[in-house]
Amino acid sequence: MPDPTPEVSPPARHVFVYGTLRRGDDNDITRLLPAPQYVGEAVIAGVMYHFGAYPGVILGKPAACRGSAEGAQGWNGQILGEVYAIEPALEAKLDEIEMIYPQQRDEYLKRDIQVTVGGQQLDCIVYEINPAYLTNRPVIGSGDWVKDR
């Protein structure tokens, strides 16, 4: 006799993307499979840095910007991005893109943060740049990679 218990899917994870994973950019998340579900635009607190072909974000206001006219110049404290609901298989692909796994490089750190989207609080993955890589990187003061790249 078949098990009458319906199969329960794990709850959707969410990811906040702010750089090349945004729609229309080089690693556009909407071109990846399994397809993510767009939830909406959001803003998080942080500082965005320019790494040439891609940005990196430090969540909050890092010590490197405190009291430093050069580091804080143009800093508005907000990072613009997009939130998507994703399946575990896509999360694994994002980890590969950000070299979290299987390469296990230390350039990006995978974080879980709360993000407000349309008045709703969601737990989101965000890939934060390792502060060790910030030497001589300019701040993207607007916090919008697409606008200022």
In a domain, 6, yes or no: no
Residue 148: per-residue pLDDT: 83
In a domain, 85, yes or no: yes
3-state secondary structure at position 45: strand
In a domain, 46, yes or no: yes
Number of structural domains the chain divides into? 1
In a domain, 3, yes or no: no
In a domain, 70, yes or no: yes
In a domain, 78, yes or no: yes
pLDDT exceeds 90 at position 88: yes
Domain of residue 89, CATH code: 3.10.490.10
Query: How many CA atoms within 13 Å lie on the side-chain side of 106?
Result: 5
Write out pLDDT tens, residues 32-86. Answer: 999 999 999 999 999 999 999 999 999 996 555 543 334 445 567 899 999 999 9
Write out pLDDT tens, residues 95-144. Answer: 999 988 666 789 999 999 999 999 999 999 999 999 999 999 999 999 99
pTM for the predicted model, two decimal places: 0.85
In terms of C-beta distances under 8 Å and separation of at least 24 residues, what long-range contacts does 115-123 make, across chains too? 115/14, 115/16, 115/42, 115/44, 115/83, 116/42, 117/39, 117/40, 117/41, 117/42, 117/83, 118/39, 118/40, 122/14, 122/39, 122/83, 123/13, 123/14
Please name which of 117, 100, 103, 104 lies closest in space to residue 14, comparing C-alpha atoms: 117
HEC states along 97-121? HCCCCCCCCCCEEEEEEEEEECCEE
Residue 55: per-residue pLDDT: 97
In a domain, 147, yes or no: no
